[in-house]
Amino acid sequence: MENENQKIDQKDINAAAWAACDTFRGVVDPAQYKDYILVILFLRYISDVWQDHYDKYKKEYGDDDERIRRKLERERFVLPVIKLTEEEDGKRKEIDSFTANFYSLYERKERNNIGELINITLEHIEEANRTKLAGVFRNIDFNSEANLGKTKDRNRRLKQLLEDFNSPKLDMRPSRVSEDIIGNTYIYLIEHFASDSGKKAGEFFSPLMVTELVARLAQPKDGDTICDPTCGSGGLLIKAANQIPSGNFALFGQETNGSTWALCRMNMFLHGFDSARIEWGDTINNPLLVSNKSLMKFDIVVANPPFSLDKWGAENAASDPYRRFTRGIPPKSKGDWAFITHMVETAKNQKGRIAVVVPHGVLFRGGAELKIRQA
């Protein structure tokens, strides 16, 4: 029997998490099932942290439930009690009550409405932690017939998923596993999903060697504000943050894809960067990192934006309220210089540093891009 206080090895937790993906392989596209896997990983993590702290308070305060409750309400994440009701004879009758966590769902894994119960649990967690989790679970539906199959197949897959994540090797209580290991597992999964997803991977993942190089080239320093305007799942921001051992920095990002934005938010939490400000929206057409109606300025701006993006919004560039395109408007079929220009305009004057990954044509193409380079 595995010692419940035994520390978990990075390799073991990675392998256990990746094995859980077998439930969906060959049935659901990796670009889709990654969201289900990563959300359940996150749910298991916050549930384990909550349980670890509950056990600690229980040992300390015994049967003083009120004191324990007050302590838990001050936790990093609050896991509320869910009360399900139904109408009977014109009155609401309670039919179930449970804490919004992974364990409650595991206990109910045989229920015919398990997909709905997972959705309800995530909704309650999001509502109880609105300042941190608002919108993070809105794009995921565990009761989706289109993604997970008809009721019988869907229930079987979700039951298996919960059983896989109930593995002792995925016990992520802080007394057993460090936050670094959990964050590394999240990135490990994203990297492997990217490998399986092929071309679609660029929407949410930049290769680790690329992010490491870009982060080092930017030379982050103590006290820096760091921004990635096309942050994907947040890997580049995390690599840049890791260059500052003191932890004295501030992270900012924006991502246009809602599902990827949610992954990035969870990635920040799993790495302990709770204060990171990650916005959801189109950086070029709707920049949201704004202060007093002006673009925010950062010490470091890093990015791996979409290569030669077509239909990036050239038609709106001339009337840009932030006057980012005074050097010229990039071709409507190649948005590379639109992103570079945005980065230049959001770097602090004189001392801002920019590191960006772009296709080599950015350096040589003529026309409007030549004029921008010469400006």
In order, the DSSP letters of 284-313 are TTS---EETTEE--BSEEEE-PPTT-SSSS
- 8 Å CB contact between 26 and 32: no
Contacts of 62 (CB under 8 A, 6+ apart): none
* Residues ≥6 apart with Cβ < 8 Å to 23: 157, 160, 161, 164
pLDDT of residue 186: 87
Sign of the dihedral defined by the CA atoms of residues 113, 115, 119, 125, in that order: positive
The token pair at 150 is 């008809």
In whole angstroms, what is the distance from residue 229 CA to residue 9 CA? 34
The DSSP bridge partners found for residue 98 are 82
End-to-end CA distance of the chain: 68
Spatial distance between the Cα atoms of 277 and 263, rounded to a whole number of angstroms: 14
Give residue 90's pLDDT: 80
Provide the pLDDT for residue 203: 56
Domains by residue range for the chain, with CATH: 10-178 (1.20.1260.30), 206-374 (3.40.50.150)
Given a contact cutoff of 8 angstroms between Cβ atoms, the answer to whether 363 and 309 are in contact is no
Q: How far is CA 291 from CA 59, 286, 287, 297, 346, in A?
A: 47, 14, 11, 9, 12
Cα–Cα distances in angstroms (integers) from residue 221 to residues 151, 300, 357, in the given order: 52, 9, 21
Q: Which single residue is written with the structure tokens 């209580």?
A: 173
238 closest CA partner among 222, 223, 220, 255: 220
Which DSSP helix (H) or strand (E) runs through 94? Answer: strand 91-99
- Judge whether 109 and 121 are in contact, CB under 8 Å: no
Q: What is the pLDDT along the chain (375 residues), one digit of tens a residue?
A: 445 566 778 898 899 889 988 888 888 887 788 889 999 999 999 999 999 999 999 999 998 989 998 998 888 999 999 999 988 888 888 899 999 999 999 999 999 999 999 999 999 999 999 999 999 998 899 999 999 999 999 999 999 999 999 998 899 888 888 777 888 888 888 888 877 765 444 555 677 888 999 999 999 999 999 999 999 989 999 999 999 999 999 999 999 999 899 999 999 998 989 999 999 999 999 999 999 999 999 999 999 999 999 999 999 999 999 999 999 999 999 999 999 999 999 999 999 999 999 999 999 999 999 999 998
**374 burial via Cβ count (<10 Å: 0-12, 13-18, 19+):** exposed
Q: Which among 364, 7, 353, 368 is positioned nearest to 182, based on CA atoms?
A: 7
Q: Is the pTM of this model over 0.85?
A: yes
- CA-based nearest residue to 264, from 101, 79, 77, 139: 139
Quote the pLDDT of residue 204. 58
